[in-house]
Structure 1
């Protein structure tokens, strides 16, 4: 007999726990929780059994969450802008380096032509010295051959 009573209590207990709970928000914003429906001038949220572990977000919490997301988006946008500026700077530096290398190569070819046409030993020695200096500049600027 006691086993039947325990079994009956076990079957009826969950039915009592599954009752609905009403969250009522009054006209001035006050909150109340009750087991019967809210009055007509209150905003009602019905909480069913099993959903008590869910967190409902109040409007101020939603605004804070939206503000946080907007701030994260702004930070991501700022980071992208900084990365774009850095990329533009790298590209400008590359263009300047190419121009510099081009000028050095042109000067090197000019000196080689002058060296091939030189007539005196003194002029040849000076041109060779300039070519050596220019070759060092080309190497220091990391210009491709």
Structure 2
């Protein structure tokens, strides 16, 4: 039985390998695909190649769409992380500025107390000069009055 089966397969293999698909376009513009040559009044395109599939590109397009959405989501997360870092940095700078202002204001109060207790004109003049310089520092640091 195998003796008859193997020649049969050998004879049928070239028939399968020679298969071609004909794309026929009718005069009305309708497309049809067939395994025989097109009629004379139809425009013909012979499609050669190995495997023809009825699968459309929709799964690939869906995958590309999903990939682009994932990229967009990654970019959005990266932007959110950058914004969070920037906000954290601004908060840290604000806290440091508040500390600096409190130190300057505490120094100003100390100098004002010393000025009220000063007895010599020279010491009063020096304290007033330091207070004026400190007032400039407070203004430069944009501390609230």
TM-score, normalisation: structure 2: 0.62
Displacement of 1:96 in angstroms is 0.4
Aligned counterpart, 1:30: 52
Deviations 1:81-132 (A, max 9, x none): 0000000001001000100000000000000000000111110010000000
Aligned counterpart, 1:96: 96
Aligned counterpart, 2:39: none
Deviations 1:44-70 (A, max 9, x none): xxxxxxxxxxxx752221111110000
Counterpart Cα distance in 1 of 2:132 and 2:123: 14
Aligned counterpart, 2:115: 115
Counterpart Cα distance in 2 of 1:80 and 1:116: 53
The structure that has the greater radius of gyration is 2
Aligned counterpart, 1:144: 144
Aligned counterpart, 2:67: 67
Counterpart Cα distance in 1 of 2:66 and 2:127: 71
| Structure 1 alignment gaps of length 5 or more | 1-20, 22-27, 33-42, 44-55
SS at match of 1:31: coil
| Structure 2 alignment gaps of length 5 or more | 1-31, 33-49
Instruction: Give the aligned CA root-mean-square deviation in angstroms.
Output: 2.0
User: 4+ runs of 1 displaced by more than 2 Å?
Assistant: 28-32
TM-score, normalisation: structure 1: 0.62
Counterpart Cα distance in 2 of 1:75 and 1:98: 34
Counterpart Cα distance in 2 of 1:131 and 1:108: 6
